A and B are shown apart, each in its own frame.
Chain A
Amino acid sequence: MAQGKKSNNLKLFNRNTFPLFYFLILFILCLTIMGLDYRYKISNEIKAEISIINTPVNFLINLPETLLLEVKNNLVTKELLEEKIKTLEQNIYYLSIKNQENKLLRSENKLLRNKLKIHKKFNIVGVNAEIILPNVKNGYGVITINKGIKDKIRNGAPVINNNGLVGQIINSTKSYSEIKPLTSIKFAVPAIKDSGKENVILYGNGNGELEIPLFPARSKLKVNDIFMTSGIDKIYPKGINIGKVIAIEPTKSPKFNNILIQPFSQPTSYSQITVLKIKKND
């Protein structure tokens, strides 16, 4: 019998009155806060100011990797360094030949631009940064970098690496910034095929790929076709590689296909990226 036991763990029906009025007030307050934050992005501003809480967390989760790298750097041998120098020298030689080719192409390009009267310039200026942890935040994929507001990084700036587009800055604090990867849900970027045809918008599918949900079936597109930024949104500069087509899937409607695109950039922890600053001149 329940009454006879007198146990500390015994929990019968809750006889307190439920604070319904207070709950309703808080419930409405929550909805109001959500609405206001959605419209005015208050949380981003507060997050930028209170990075004092997240900075030690970021430091703690990066500590093992930082220590490992420090130890590795300190224990590097002469033989390894010589090997590295040799590889770098080879790279310099290869790049200097490429540079000569680029100089020639640049002068040719300048002449052609003058003849065709094209005034638009690619004014791309960037800040280099390194990817640190975390790469996930409460179930959402993010890329965290070691530069923030003090390095003149602002929300909304596009981010690239040597392979192509990486994403966009969504939260910038004093000492670090967070990037939304281009494959995450709700990410969209205007793109164009490298041949200069097929203006489309690519969407992240949250599964490591981008997609074009309703692409006309009559348009000529094949696997391995490359897409790059078209620049029409004036956020992402024109001509940055995005990815290549890996699958053309039929949809319920025979008039449209679903196109899957694999991004070129696969940013890993402790690799370099560049946060762009673009001067709008058109």
Chain B
Amino acid sequence: MTKKTIIQKRQENYLITILALVSLILSNVALPWTENPSSMPNYFIALIVIFVVLEKANLNLSKLFIIGLLVDLILGQILGQYTLIFISIYALNFLIGKILIIKTETQILSLSSFIILFSFFVLWATSQSHDIIFPLGLLFHQFILTLFILLILKFTINTFTTK
């Protein structure tokens, strides 16, 4: 395992702060081509998934717990919802890392897709609307948009951080 320099750590911390602020603004802006607000990408899930999978910004359970609480306070429906999602993302990534080697771009993308779907499941299970029937078309739309945002974030992270 390679150790990161202080400059690298600082770079990653700045980047996650800036991207979180951008995500906060974008989460409040409706996409012009979507009539249903539910088919918006989930910017914060995409952000946390890519940072956890790429092991950037030294995210651990405590940091994710605090970030989750902040997201819940600003954007969430109920306190603890995003906190639960973020710590679950960390745990899932950690456990998959125990049994699988994640090395290539395709593997990273597959793992990210799986974690995003898992996050959506937790989001749905803890949703306050208590819908028993979940519209699959909407889930697919939201999943594709979130994955697209994740790819943009991945490109941004690779551009602005040193490997």
A residues adjacent to B (C-beta < 8 A): 2, 8-14, 16, 18-19, 22-23, 26-27, 29-34, 36-38, 42-43, 46-47, 50, 53-54, 57-58, 60-61, 133-141, 185-186, 206-208
Contacts and interface: CB of A to CB of B under 8 A. Distances in A.
A18 B95 contact: yes
Interface in B107-159: 126, 128-131, 142
B80 A34 contact: yes
Contact of B30 (A50, A134, A186, A208): A134
Given A8-B2, A12-B101, A138 B94 contact: no
Contacts of B37: 135-136, 139-141
Contact of B73 (A2, A32, A50): A50
B101 A43 contact: no
A139 B42 contact: yes
A270 to B, nearest CB: 15
B150 to A, nearest CB: 16
Q: Which of B27, B28, B73, B163 has the most chain A CB atoms closer than 10 A to its own CB?
A: B28
B76 to A, nearest CB: 7
Contact of B80 (A12, A37, A54, A186): A37
A136 B151 CA distance: 23
A137 B42 CA distance: 10
Given A11-B102, A61-B28, A139-B37, A33 B80 contact: yes
Contacts of B94: 14, 16, 18
Contacts of A185: 129, 131
Contacts of B83: 26, 30, 33
Contacts of A23: 61, 87, 91
A47 B39 CA distance: 25
Given A18-B94, A133-B28, A11 B101 contact: yes
10 contacts: A8-B2, A9-B103, A11-B55, A11-B101, A18-B94, A26-B61, A34-B80, A133-B29, A138-B28, A186-B129
A168 to B, nearest CB: 15
A34 B78 contact: yes
Interface string B31-56: 00001111110101000000000010
A158 B78 CA distance: 22
Contacts of A38: 78, 128
Contact of B74 (A33, A34, A54): A54
Given A14-B97, A42-B79, A138-B42, A60 B84 contact: no
4 closest cross-chain pairs (CB), A and B: A14-B97, A33-B80, A34-B80, A134-B28
A31 B129 CA distance: 17
Contacts of A29: 65, 80
Given A9-B103, A34-B79, A43-B76, 18 more contacts: A11-B55, A14-B97, A18-B91, A18-B94, A23-B87, A23-B91, A27-B84, A27-B87, A30-B65, A30-B83, A31-B84, A34-B80, A133-B28, A136-B29, A136-B37, A137-B75, A139-B38, A186-B128
